[in-house]
Amino acid sequence: MDAKDILGLPKNALPIQEKKSKPPKESQRKPDGISREVYALTGGLAPLMPAVDVNQLKRKAQSDNEKITWQWLPFTNSARKDSLQLYHWVRVVNGIPPTGDYSFAKYNKSVDVLKYTDEEYEKYLTDPAWTKEETDQLFDLCERFDLRFIVVADRFPSSKTVEELKDRYYSVSRAILIARALSPGDVATHPLVKETYNASQETERKRALNLLLSHTKQQERKDVEVLAQAKKISEARKASKASEESELPVLSDIGSLGADKATADTVNPSTNSQIPSSSITAPVSETASVIASLRMLRVYLRSYALEQMVQAASSSAGLRTIKRVEQTLQDLGVNLKPKVPTKAVCAEHLELRKEILTLLNLQKQLQYKEAEGSSFREGSYTETPGTPPKQSLRAADLDRTFTPDSLSIGGERFGKREQKRKGPAPSSPAQSKRPRKYKASD
């Protein structure tokens, strides 16, 4: 028992005070692009513009003896014909009001409409569709509304269209200028004389514009599709026409040289009947395919075209022949690829390769004929009575097509062929054999 029980006081006499929760501080995240130290010093981003004291600004210098006041003064406008007097506030310096015309009177611009006399009208301006009263009224309205023909057509009493009003006004003005000029050349450069108004063209233009503006969304989409299709067709026609008509810069020389090179690889068929026709037509077809592929490229380097033509011409020749051609070019001091591949240089390079191929083929033909002749001579002297009869060479063997790969430079393979052609060699005498050992069963 404690004092609170004796006094009859509740044990929790004092209410417990609830702790007020402090609102959380809004944590500001450091923005990117600024260091932590600078952000801690400034408490945020630096101001975009420096704060300038208004008192430090430069004031306009004002003389001590100048006194400026504003006064309510009357003024007149030269643009008005009724001499109306109005009032406005005016800046007065030292009690002297400003003089001169109203400052906004300079913006009043009007059109100079030509005037004609009755005599000029009867002599130059008569028109069956227009009376003099209608023409006078038209010119008055044009001068009043500054050639705003929409307003003029609205105010004109008769039912004339805007195009008819324009045509009448410009035709009358043009006739007056030509009639008053001393010579037609004096007014030849005037806009009204130089550029005549065409009422029918203007009517057609407005009709087409009205038709265009009245199109629906579906019609607009259809028109866009038609225009896109027409554009594709025109581009395709241009491409086909360009591919047919445009000749590549090297093709005129390369094409003829490629055909000549085909014959150079296989020697002239009229003088060498043993060469088949297939070996002649193959390089020509390859040359034509190369020309067609170059035409499809349309843009290419001349050195690339030369390389393709050389490969096409050398495709029928063997690898050994190609190496001999390159070796011959090096012996002559000629680059395998021209350093400056102009049109003339490429043509001469192909011509040189053609001649080298012709020379190599002729050398091979000569070696073949010499080896063939020597084989006949050796065969006539080495025949013996015990030698089997030699088979006679057929005409087909004599006219056999010369193949470069079957004959080496030194003629080694040719000797083997001649050995086979001469027949089997005479048999050597029988050698002594060992006596056969007999078994016990024998």
pLDDT tens per residue, range 279-322: 444 455 566 777 777 777 767 777 777 877 787 777 777 788 88
**What one-character-per-residue DSSP string does 288-350 give?**
HHHHHHHHHH-S--HHHHHHHHHHHHHSSS-HHHHHHHHHHHHHTT--SS-SS--HHHHHHHH
Q: How confident is the model at residue 373 (pLDDT cuts 50, 70, 90)?
A: confident
- How many CB atoms sit inside 10 A of residue 287's CB? 24
Q: Does 341 score more than 90 pLDDT? A: no
Q: Does 18 score more than 60 pLDDT? A: no
User: Between 319-331 and 302-314, two packed helices, what is the crossing angle to 10 degrees?
Assistant: 130
Question: What SS3 string covers 88-136?
Answer: EEEEEECCECCCCCCHHHHHCCCCCCCCCCHHHHHHHHCECCECHHHHH
Report yes or no: 249 and 291 within 8 Å, Cβ to Cβ: no
Predicted pLDDT of residue 357:
85
Q: Looking at per-residue confidence, does 341 or 209 come out higher?
A: 209
Mean pLDDT for the chain?
75
Please give the average per-residue pLDDT across 19-30, as a whole number: 65
- How many CB atoms sit inside 10 A of residue 83's CB? 8
Q: Looking at per-residue confidence, does 95 or 422 come out higher?
A: 95
Predicted pLDDT of residue 188:
87
pLDDT > 70: percent of the chain: 65
Q: How confident is the model at residue 402 (pLDDT cuts 50, 70, 90)?
A: very low
Q: Does 371 score more than 80 pLDDT? A: yes
Q: Does 439 score more than 70 pLDDT? A: no
Q: Does 164 score more than 90 pLDDT? A: yes
Predicted pLDDT of residue 306:
80
Token pair listed for 33: 């692009």
Predicted pLDDT of residue 434:
58
Predicted pLDDT of residue 148:
93
Please give the average per-residue pLDDT across 43-68, as a whole number: 67
DSSP strands (E only) in 187-308: none
Q: How confident is the model at residue 156 (pLDDT cuts 50, 70, 90)?
A: very high
